[in-house]
Amino acid sequence: MSPELIAVLAVIAVALAFDYTNGFHDAANAIATSISTRALTPRVALAMAAVGNFIGAHFGAEVAKTVGSGLVKLPTGQASLGIVFAGVIGAIVWNLVTWYFGLPSSSSHALIGGLVGSTVAASGTVLWTGIGESVIIPMVLSPMVGFVLGYIVMIAVQWIFRKGHPGKLNRGFRWAQTASAAAMSVGHGMQDAAKTIGIVVLALYVGGYQDDPGFIPEWAFWTSAAVLAAGTYAGGWRIIRTLGRKIIDLKPPEGFAAETVASGVLYFNALVLGAPISTTHTITSAIMGVGATKRLSAVRWGVAGNIVGAWILTFPAAGSIGALMYFLVRPLFS
């Protein structure tokens, strides 16, 4: 087995390890609201999220292409594989840190930050225009859109069902949440499995095993989807508790509204823009928007502030870890 092939396999392996941590770290994105409102039992919700992630991965080609060829430009060779390896390690480390503290940070931005950090450390080429258009702008806009739409949709739900019996409405919306949580799971797969696929394609390209940086082999879809689904089924209970219970006290109508808004934003960005946005930012901001319809004090802003702080730190923190890891692993890829 050639050194080049070993290096490529090492990068693919660490990308799949990130995929697994992404699954249990971001499981909360799809199912926390359904569990907190008792619309679904935890294991049923996790199984549904895993299946949804698996299905959604096959619709995330545009996001995968953005991650694989629209963020950094690396020459072929083992040195470039070391850059990718270090960047993914940076993302994994940050995922584990935020998971330990129960903070729903963005695995997407951790991955992109880690890759950019290792590329900068290696004096490589970062496509800052692509970063700005595909990452920074959506990173700023998607939480705003999620918050505003969450508020509007919840107001609409309250007005439409203003004469309904609370007990019957709660039962009805628990059933509706099954559909909205499933939609959220598919959207999560479109976004997050696709990012790992992008890293796999980048490894194949810089390793010299494929000529087209935009081509995605079919096995990459299946492998990334399966690993993300496995990680999702493993669960991320610390973050599920934060999203489902600590921001606001959710009821079924609110959970349905938040999930519907978040999945819509994810679908639009994946299918129309091909932008790798954060599922975490989107669902969390939608939950905050829904909660604000009660009264602003209904949102636990202290918890929300900690979450936003983790959002702000994610890109530079993962980037710094990625840069450090590059200097540590560089001798192995020379």
Question: pLDDT of 268-279, one tens digit each?
Answer: 988 888 888 877
Q: Could you identify the residue written with the tokens 């939950």?
A: 287
Whole-angstrom Cα distance, residue 11 to residue 199?
8
CB 321 within 8 Å of CB 89? yes
Is 22 domain-assigned? yes
What range does the domain containing 239 cover? 3-329
- What are residue 126's DSSP bridge partners? 72
Q: For residue 147, what are its two tokens? A: 């918050």
Instruction: Tell whether 307 is covered by a domain.
Output: yes
Name beta bridge partners: 73.
Answer: 125
CA angle 125, 127, 133 (to 5 degrees): 165
Q: How many of the other CB atoms lie within 10 Å of CB of 297? A: 9
Does residue 93 fall inside a structural domain? yes
When divided into structural domains, the chain yields a total of 1
The backbone torsions φ and ψ at residue 221, rounded to the nearest 5 degrees and listed phi first, read -60, -50
99 with 236: CB under 8 angstroms? yes
Specify the pLDDT at position 264. 92
User: Which segments of 235-276 does DSSP mark as H helices, in order?
Assistant: 237-241, 252-267
Compute the distance between CA of residue 109 and CA of residue 114 in angstroms, rounded to an integer.
Answer: 8
CA distance 18 to 93: 9
Task: Classify burial at 302, counting beta carbons within 10 Å of its beta carbon; exposed 0-12, middle 13-18, buried 19 or more.
Answer: exposed
Residue 272: CB atoms within 10 A of its CB come to 9
Q: Evaluate whether 176 touches 317 at the Cβ level (below 8 Å).
A: no
Q: Is position 334 within any domain?
A: no
- Please tell me the distance from the alpha carbon of residue 154 to that of residue 249, in angstroms, as a whole number: 14
| pLDDT for position 294 | 75
Tally Cβ neighbours within 10 Å of residue 296.
Answer: 10
Amino acid 82: pLDDT: 94
Q: Please tell me whether residue 54 adopts helix, strand or coil conformation.
A: helix
Q: Provide the phi-psi class of 309: left if phi over 0, else alpha when psi is between -120 and 50, else beta.
A: alpha
**Unique residue bearing structure tokens 């290792």:** 118
Q: Which residues of the chain have pLDDT under 70?
A: 26-30, 104, 235-249, 295-308, 310
Would you tell me how many other CB atoms lie within 10 Å of the CB of residue 330? Answer: 17
- What φ, ψ does residue 278 adopt, rounded to 5°? -90, 120
Question: Exposed, middle or buried: residue 111 (CB in 10 Å: 0-12, 13-18, 19+)?
Answer: buried
Please tell me the predicted confidence (pLDDT) of residue 238: 63
How many distinct helices (H) and strands (E) make up the chain? 14, 2
Tell me the chain's radius of gyration from C-alpha atoms: 19
Written as six digits, the tokens of 332 are 């192995």
pLDDT in tens, 25-42: 766 666 777 777 777 777
100 in Cβ contact with 302 (< 8 Å): no
